[in-house]
Structure 1
Amino acid sequence: MHVILIVEDDDAIRSNISRLLTLEGFEAVSAADGRSGLAHARARAPDLIISDVNMPDMDGFALLAAIRADAALATTPFMLLTALDDRNSMRRGMTAGADDYLSKPFTRTELLEAVNAQLRKKNLVDARMASGLAALETRLRTAFGSDIGGRQPEAFAVEAPPDSDDAHVINATVLVSSIRNFTSLAEKLEANEVSQLLTEYFERSCQPVLKNSGRHLKFVGDGLMAVFANTLSGSPLPAQRRAISAALAMALAAHEFRDWLAQRFAARGLPPFAIGIGLHSGEVTLCRMGPPGSPDLMPVGDTVSLAARLEVATRERGWTVLASRAVMEAAGDGIEVGTRDTLAVPGKNLTLDVLEITGMVTGIDDKIHGMASLTERASEISAAVRTNSDITARAVKEALQSKLATLKEQRFEPGNEPVRLKGYRVTRKIGSGGMTEVYLAERETDGLPIVLKVLDSRGKEASEHLVRFIQEYALLSKINHPHVIRIHDQGFSDEHAYIAMEYFERGDLRTLFGPGMTRVRALEIGRQLAQALAAIHSHGIVHRDIKPENVMLRSDGSVALADFGIAKSMLQAESLGFTQTRHGDVVGTPFYMSPEQVIGKAVTVRSDLYSLGVMLFEMLDGRRPFMAESLELLLAKHLHADTPALPVVHADLQPIINRLMAKNPDARYASAQALLADLNQAA
């Protein structure tokens, strides 16, 4: 029985549609608003959604965006209900991904015709997939014989199937690839055309796999898996090197396959064709399927699972070929790489070092043993990888854009399913300001709480904020220090950007200021911040806004320097294109601003030390060193007033404070390390 979700705020219309559909043998599920409809959709996974456009809170367009952004529901047929003369809503809905619309008022016949048309379309796509894969299996079995497995499992196996009669373990490299946007491709083609597409693509992809002695090819949907092992090949080249060679040649084959698609399916509106490939090395178990002596072996185990996870990661990062360090370490010289990263594996206490593979420089042994074409077509392969990565990156950006736009409209209420974003569960909104929204989230792999800062970067006025957003991640990604905030991830689309960073449940340092601040605690905080400044200064970074609100408290009582939104890289600012402080600009917080910042002169590491001196004075004395009735008078004191005296009990620390807050930067400590030496000697 087909399940149909009706989302309509008009009780009479909702009841009439539900009654009509129930009488026709459908299971009708109804909701009075978009948020309830989204919850029902996630709980029931309906075969069709019918939604009104104009509803309070979450309207039909927002519900459609949320459905399309949810991986589990993204392909669900969606119909919009609009007023008869509301052509703008019709066009907007179709542009946003609606499959059809009905104009109110509508008849029983019109409703049923529209519903049945969408269900027939859904059944057709399912049938195309099934028939296409069946035809593919038959043709590939004939073409490649024993190199291609005869079974068609539901997914690449991780554990040995129950009907395998024996197994043996080998060390091997596993290659897993898949086609991007395959569902979007399939729904625009007839069943026989899907079969032709898959057969043609897999024939082209299998050639470089087999040429590089890949074995035990398996196919699941639009995915391909192959095993490269030294014991199976007879080639002197390492299995890892041959797997990389096959992956790069597959990227070129995919690039050339676009021409075939353009000629075969011209004017069909197919999405850009791209693939992703994951490579991982380790132990692989080969399980024999069928009767004893059967040549059909099924590769299973964690190495297979991890290779598949790396393929998924290519989509998340916009890469074409992604390999684990285990592959790279044994692949030999000449492997060209792009970005390097780490990957947390969901469900496992495991982090992998991963690399983007962009090309390979071959030697004489490579050419002798099957890689001559890789040498001859090296430039074409590099171009193919770049093009494929660009297509993937655009798809990633569009998906991220949809997710972040949906997040902004989300209401975090008890019982609502949390929004998921690239491995994070977003649980609630904790703040906002200007163009930035701040959310609390959990990392799905381990439940670690993190903060998501999301910037709406639309409009010219947002350009400077976007530069600072990018700058904050670029600067902090260099630093791993216990007293500097940890940045976990970042992402950018055309209209939004986000940073995932460490969450501090205890808040900022300001909460500790007052009578409870002891000398011992103040000096300990001072030492930790001096260590943090030494770390960032060693990377050529000046914070430029040291203040209590930018120092966060960890649960163990230690502190971490945060909020690098206006920090500047003194070493790379020019090459990275970061905003430079112009003459006359005032950057920082007035109560903690150095004299040179007040008058717009060059800001250096000693400027941060001045601000730390102001904070240290405030922690020891209980009041700020400079107060005034206006901003102009306050800034004048930073420029000209003598540093006030500390209470008598802290008089021995006065030389440290005086040196930190000297008007002339040259008279201050030369470095945070020099300050730390004096703080360590202070009782």
Structure 2
Amino acid sequence: MTTILIVEDDDAIRNNIGRLLRLEGYDIVAAVNGREGLELARELKPDVVITDVSMPEMDGFELLEAIRAERALSATSVMMLTALDDRASMRRGMTSGADDYLAKPFTRVELLEALEGLFKKRTRVEETIQTAVQAREEHLRRAFTASLGGNHVPDKFGLEPPAGAVTDQVINATVLFSDIRNFTSLAEKLNSAEVAELLTYYFERTCEPVLTNGGRHLKFIGDGLMAVFSDTMSGTSPLPAARRAVSAALAMALAAHEFRSWLDKRFAQRGLPPFAIGVGLHAGEVTICRLGTIQNKETTAIGDTVNTAARLEASSKELGWTVVASDAVLRQAGEGVQTGGMTSLDVRGRIGFVDVAEITGLVTNLQDKRHGMATLTERANEIRAAVQVNSEITARAVKGALKSKLSALKEHQFQPGQEPLRLKGYRLTRKIGAGGMTEVYLAVRETDGLPVVLKVLDAAGKGMSEHLSRFIQEYTLLSRIEDPHVIRIYDQGFTDDHAYIAMEYFERGDLRSELNQGMTQPRVLEVMVQVTRALDAIHARGIIHRDLKPENIMLRPDGSVALADFGVAKSMLQPENFALTETRHGDVVGTPYYLSPEQASGQRITPATDLYSLGIMMFEMLTGERPYRAESLDLLLARHLSAPTPQLPDSHAALQPVLELLMAKKPEDRYKSARALLQDLEDRALLRTVAGGKH
């Protein structure tokens, strides 16, 4: 029900308006003066306030100003009651932000028509706001899609004046632009809620130094922030605008450094790229445009100075600087600005070069300390609300862009002469496989021409969340490992129902083809050593593979091997902030021919589980046959549980003790670790035989 607050000191008028509106079905509350009306407005959040102008304690104008000053009430529709000939009050009311006025005396029809007009106006405003939000999100989505495709990224800020904008003032100011570097790569590895959380936490911390130093007209678009520092704004510090902008930029860099510690702790073991920001500063003439009505006024800065500041921020990554400032900023900022490198940039959209410098520090003086550069802190709640909305929009946009990109892969036709499809710096060349929910593509990394495999999962169906979790887990586990005998994973990204992994490409395929052709004992030992080293590396990171088999041992061109396919691997560490897919006791995970007894019986697994599977592989590599076969899965599992370790042929008898320890039924009877297995092989001088090339 629509609630209307009537604030009128005349009992007859107040009661008459209340009676008329109650008959129309409105919920009515009333106050006899502005002070009481403001208290009721704060408590009830009415849809409309109808207030008289002349009242004791707090008049209608004071009430209107108080309503517009409070964020929770600022959008409330306000109708003012004035005398028929009081044109001055009408003008003052409309200038102060009143939505409409009604001259006394008025009829029932006039009152209802005025209210109907207010509701229509409010609906139009809400629709305009919703349209603007949707347009902003779509603009971001296009920018993120271009970034994911490796194409030119459109300006996320939309630096052209918005349609319907009215020039409010032209000022001399310093403009600050900041952005998170490689934001899409970071956002890909988090879900939508986590992206929003990250941005909210980041902006709350980096906005503080901007506000403290007198930054105004803050604008959030995606992972970027723009602020204007001017000497002409009332209430700002007498310190030069450029100096305050430099101070804010350096404080933002410090806040970002502290934020990095939070990020590493909050998303530990997630394989996030290093966090960094870039800041650009430029000084000159700035046009402030106004959008919307007086009470819902939004301002934005445009002009060459704004564009140049944005371009300087964009150049910060290539320059390797955090804060890039133009010569105009340095001239106006005063003494004590510390600089690093200096160069000239050809800024897109400008004629001629811009001299720039890296800002590394600011030596404060007595005047800096006296004035404290502290203003606009009363806007903290407004900024916090803007940050929250921007964070949610950005999260939807970046994850939506990735989803669209991955969905397009399924429809793409790899035809000669067709423009190649790109994803995050990878150029797709052909589709090389598909199975179930996963499709596999061959791609080329554009920076160096390295062939890679892109594995894409579509888990949009009902009950597919577990598959998506395991797919994400594969990257999460492997991103922490750097070992020559573990598959290299280059990148990963996911949405709520899509994911991809960019990984090493093995032209020679897996070990099965070599095993089928027959392997010599020295070659078997060479593979054993390399796989054992891979197991040592992953076990040291608390990871158990759980599915060791020839199909998961990949061949490189030089004959070395790498352990791959960690889709069912399990972390023993269980990171605090990332719950991996759990397997209940009794569930069988892995390939039956290579299962350990504890896997077959659904018992607790340990690193020794992988050693048992390696023992199975060792027997198969030496003999060309699997140690256990059966007509049914139950019989096969029973043999893993109770059948004796098979005997190797006489030609491999020296390795029987190794096999016995690897395939012991009880985990505690096996090698204590992969490192212990390597030591045993060394003690038997087998490693020296392999290293000496005595094949």
User: Structure 2 length as normaliser, TM-score?
Assistant: 0.52
SS at match of 2:661: helix
Are 1:263 and 2:265 an aligned pair? no
1:427, 1:439 within 8 Å by CA — same for their partners in 2?
yes
Structure-2 residue corresponding to 1:579: 581
Shift, 1:663, TM fit: 0.5
Shift, 1:484, TM fit: 1.2
Are 1:493 and 2:495 an aligned pair? yes
Q: Distance in 1 between matches of 2:667 and 2:538?
A: 19
Q: Distance in 1 between matches of 2:627 and 2:295?
A: 71
Tell me the amino acid that sits aligned with residue 395 of structure 1: A
Q: Distance in 2 between matches of 1:515 and 1:500?
A: 30
2:552, 2:563 within 8 Å by CA — same for their partners in 1?
yes
Are 1:532 and 2:565 an aligned pair? no
Q: Distance in 2 between matches of 1:365 and 1:655?
A: 81
Find 2:172's aligned residue among 129, 144, 147.
144
Structure-1 residue corresponding to 2:550: 548
2:249, 2:279 within 8 Å by CA — same for their partners in 1?
no
Cα shift readout 1:598-647 (whole Å, capped 9, x = no counterpart)? 11111111101100111112112222211223322222221111111112
SS at match of 1:143: strand
Q: Distance in 2 between matches of 1:461 and 1:643?
A: 40
Structure-1 residue corresponding to 2:561: 559
Cα shift readout 1:472-495 (whole Å, capped 9, x = no counterpart)? 122112222211112222212233
2:177, 2:226 within 8 Å by CA — same for their partners in 1?
no
Structure-1 residue corresponding to 2:508: 506
2:623, 2:648 within 8 Å by CA — same for their partners in 1?
yes
1:450, 1:502 within 8 Å by CA — same for their partners in 2?
yes
Find 2:250's aligned residue among 233, 237, 240.
240
Structure-1 residue corresponding to 2:462: 460
Tell me the amino acid that sits aligned with residue 529 of structure 1: V
Shift, 1:555, TM fit: 2.3
- Correspondence 1:57-96 to 2 at 5 A: 71=146
Shift, 1:373, TM fit: 5.2
Q: Distance in 1 between matches of 2:418 and 2:435?
A: 25
Q: Distance in 1 between matches of 2:448 and 2:382?
A: 42
Q: Distance in 1 between matches of 2:469 and 2:413?
A: 29
Q: Distance in 2 between matches of 1:488 and 1:503?
A: 11
Q: Distance in 2 between matches of 1:382 and 1:144?
A: 27
Question: Cα 1:366–1:439, aligned 2, differ >3 Å: closer, same or farther?
Answer: farther
Structure-1 residue corresponding to 2:307: none
Structure-1 residue corresponding to 2:601: 599
1:284, 1:302 within 8 Å by CA — same for their partners in 2?
no
Tell me the amino acid that sits aligned with residue 546 of structure 2: R
Tell me the amino acid that sits aligned with residue 635 of structure 2: L
SS at match of 1:469: helix
Question: Cα 1:387–1:515, aligned 2, differ >3 Å: closer, same or farther?
Answer: same
Question: Cα 1:262–1:578, aligned 2, differ >3 Å: closer, same or farther?
Answer: farther
2:594, 2:617 within 8 Å by CA — same for their partners in 1?
yes
Q: Which is greater in Rg?
A: 2
Find 1:636's aligned residue among 617, 635, 638.
638
Find 1:438's aligned residue among 431, 437, 440.
440
Structure-1 residue corresponding to 2:420: 418
Cα shift readout 1:416-456 (whole Å, capped 9, x = no counterpart)? 11111122212111111111111111222222222111111
Structure-2 residue corresponding to 1:37: none
Q: Distance in 2 between matches of 1:261 and 1:565?
A: 57
Structure-2 residue corresponding to 1:669: 671
Q: Distance in 2 between matches of 1:676 and 1:477?
A: 25
- Correspondence 1:651-670 to 2 at 5 A: 651-670=653-672
Tell me the amino acid that sits aligned with residue 564 of structure 1: F
Structure-1 residue corresponding to 2:83: none
- Correspondence 1:313-462 to 2 at 5 A: 370=372, 372=374, 385=387, 387-462=389-464
Q: Which ranges of structure 1 fall in alignment gaps of 5 or more residues?
A: 1-65, 75-127, 149-172, 181-204, 215-221, 251-256, 266-274, 289-298, 308-325, 333-363
Tell me the amino acid that sits aligned with residue 619 of structure 1: M
Tell me the amino acid that sits aligned with residue 528 of structure 1: Q
Q: Distance in 1 between matches of 2:574 and 2:375?
A: 40
Question: Cα 1:396–1:131, aligned 2, differ >3 Å: closer, same or farther?
Answer: closer
Shift, 1:367, TM fit: 7.8
Cα shift readout 1:125-161 (whole Å, capped 9, x = no counterpart)? xxx987769999x988x4016x57xxxxxxxxxxxxx
Structure-1 residue corresponding to 2:473: 471
Tell me the amino acid that sits aligned with residue 446 of structure 1: D
Structure-2 residue corresponding to 1:680: 682
Cα shift readout 1:392-413 (whole Å, capped 9, x = no counterpart)? 2210111111111111011112
1:431, 1:439 within 8 Å by CA — same for their partners in 2?
yes
Q: Distance in 2 between matches of 1:484 and 1:177?
A: 31
Question: Cα 1:175–1:643, aligned 2, differ >3 Å: closer, same or farther?
Answer: same
Tell me the amino acid that sits aligned with residue 250 of structure 2: Q
Structure-1 residue corresponding to 2:485: 483
Structure-1 residue corresponding to 2:651: 649
Shift, 1:370, TM fit: 4.8
Shift, 1:306, TM fit: 13
Cα shift readout 1:181-204 (whole Å, capped 9, x = no counterpart)? xxxxxxxxxxxxxxxxxxxxxxxx
2:178, 2:225 within 8 Å by CA — same for their partners in 1?
no
User: Structure 1 length as normaliser, TM-score?
Assistant: 0.53
CA RMSD after TM alignment: 5.2
Question: Cα 1:528–1:211, aligned 2, differ >3 Å: closer, same or farther?
Answer: same
2:210, 2:248 within 8 Å by CA — same for their partners in 1?
no
Q: Distance in 1 between matches of 2:610 and 2:580?
A: 19
Shift, 1:226, TM fit: 10
Q: Distance in 2 between matches of 1:619 and 1:481?
A: 23
- Correspondence 1:294-313 to 2 at 5 A: none
SS at match of 1:625: coil
Shift, 1:597, TM fit: 0.5
Shift, 1:649, TM fit: 2.1
Find 1:570's aligned residue among 564, 572, 595.
572
1:543, 1:564 within 8 Å by CA — same for their partners in 2?
yes
Tell me the amino acid that sits aligned with residue 664 of structure 1: K
Q: Distance in 2 between matches of 1:591 and 1:666?
A: 21
Q: Distance in 2 between matches of 1:589 and 1:671?
A: 22
2:212, 2:377 within 8 Å by CA — same for their partners in 1?
no
SS at match of 1:452: strand
SS at match of 1:445: coil
Shift, 1:538, TM fit: 1.3
Q: Which ranges of structure 2 fall in alignment gaps of 5 or more residues?
A: 1-140, 150-157, 184-206, 217-223, 230-239, 257-276, 281-289, 299-309, 329-339, 349-357, 687-695
Q: Distance in 2 between matches of 1:262 and 1:672?
A: 70
1:583, 1:601 within 8 Å by CA — same for their partners in 2?
yes
SS at match of 1:583: coil
Tell me the amino acid that sits aligned with residue 462 of structure 2: K
Q: Distance in 1 between matches of 2:294 and 2:406?
A: 32
2:457, 2:498 within 8 Å by CA — same for their partners in 1?
yes
Shift, 1:662, TM fit: 0.2
Tell me the amino acid that sits aligned with residue 679 of structure 2: A
Moved more, 515-524 or 574-583: 574-583
Of structures 1 and 2, the one with the larger relative CO (CA 8 A, separation 6+) is 2
- Correspondence 1:178-193 to 2 at 5 A: none
